[in-house]
């Protein structure tokens, strides 16, 4: 396929490189100067998108996505697929999808899970929203960039799945960190705590695969001085998106709101900026009951 790729940062760059390695003709564009092996660089987003079978975007937020869509949708050929892999608000995803459909394009919102390591290794998980026709056209590309792609429903469903997943992740990480901090104060050895919880009803991904306690469980950012990983400010972004969606849908999410408030405090008023989201553990270690 001829593929345009807009947004060649820490995630988009490796994804575009993997498409090029697989033999696709990839033309990329980014606001920052970049060099991606196998990827030809265009002078603008519109130039990268023109004449392509598929255009993929990986962008910071919904506002930027809308601006990029305004530039590239008129430049794209009818019948081409527009795949947005950014994590944005559901409203922006659906608005851009409507714009693309009106122009005769096949939109897919397909946010990812797996982080920079997954982007580099081609092991991302894609949560896709859009028509069956659109998903079928781009599914072979998901197989190159990732290990799993789930068609979640109509436009916006991919973003909804990502937001709900990461709300669970943020809530669960806080609970895991609180439990380790409590175990410390009760004199319980962290390894013993892990041995019990990881095989009991407290089992979770944050405990078993991404343990926030250094030296316990499989290697994680906790073993690298909490360097991300998945940065706390990115978790905060996703939690805020979850609460924005919850407000729009009139959904009661008190735990999601509590997690949002805690990560806001951690990132904006404490030392969480630039740290992994599991660095909540040393935060709780230092605190007493208020």
Q: Could you give the residue numbers annotated as active site? A: 162
Q: Report the distance separating Cα 166 and Cα 197, nearest Å.
A: 21
Nearest CA to 81 out of 49, 55, 63 is that of 55
> Which residue, among 267, 285, 264, has the nearest Cα to 275 in the 3D structure?
267
| CA-based nearest residue to 73, from 40, 39, 43, 96 | 96
Helix (H/G/I), strand (E/B), else coil: 82: strand
Beta strands (DSSP E) in 69-206 are 81-84, 106-109, 112-113, 124-130, 146-153
10 Å CB burial of residue 3 (0-12, 13-18, 19+) is: buried
Q: What is the DSSP letter of 224?
A: G
Residue 168 burial by Cβ neighbours in a 10 Å radius (0-12, 13-18, 19+): middle
Give the three-class secondary structure for 230: coil
């Amino acid at each position: 396929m001829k593929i345009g790729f807009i947004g060649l940062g820490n995630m988009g760059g490796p994804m575009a490189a993997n498409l090029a390695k697989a033999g696709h003709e990839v033309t990329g564009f980014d606001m920052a100067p970049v060099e991606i092996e196998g990827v030809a660089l265009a002078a603008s987003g519109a130039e990268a998108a023109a004449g392509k079978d598929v255009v993929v975007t990986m962008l910071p937020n919904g506002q930027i996505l809308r601006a990029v869509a305004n530039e590239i949708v008129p430049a794209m050929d009818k019948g081409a697929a527009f795949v947005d892999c950014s994590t944005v608000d559901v409203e922006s995803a659906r608005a851009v999808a409507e714009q693309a459909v009106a122009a005769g394009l096949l939109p897919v919102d397909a946010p990812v899970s797996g982080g920079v390591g997954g982007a580099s290794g081609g092991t991302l998980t894609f949560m896709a929203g859009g028509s069956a026709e659109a998903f079928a056209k781009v599914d072979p590309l998901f197989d190159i960039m990732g290990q799993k792609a789930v068609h979640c429903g109509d436009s916006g469903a991919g973003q909804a799945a990502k937001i709900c997943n990461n709300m669970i992740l943020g809530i669960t990480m806080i609970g895991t960190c609180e439990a380790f901090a409590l175990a410390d104060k009760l004199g319980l050895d962290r390894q013993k705590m892990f041995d019990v919880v990881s095989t009991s009803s407290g089992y979770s991904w944050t405990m078993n695969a991404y343990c926030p306690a250094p030296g316990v469980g499989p290697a994680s950012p906790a073993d690298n001085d909490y360097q991300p990983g998945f940065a706390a400010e990115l978790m905060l972004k996703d939690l805020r998106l979850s609460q924005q969606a919850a407000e729009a849908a009139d959904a009661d999410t008190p735990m999601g709101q509590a997690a949002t408030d805690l990560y806001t405090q951690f990132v904006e008023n404490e030392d969480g900026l630039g740290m992994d989201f599991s660095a909540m553990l040393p935060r709780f270690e230092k605190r007493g009951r208020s």
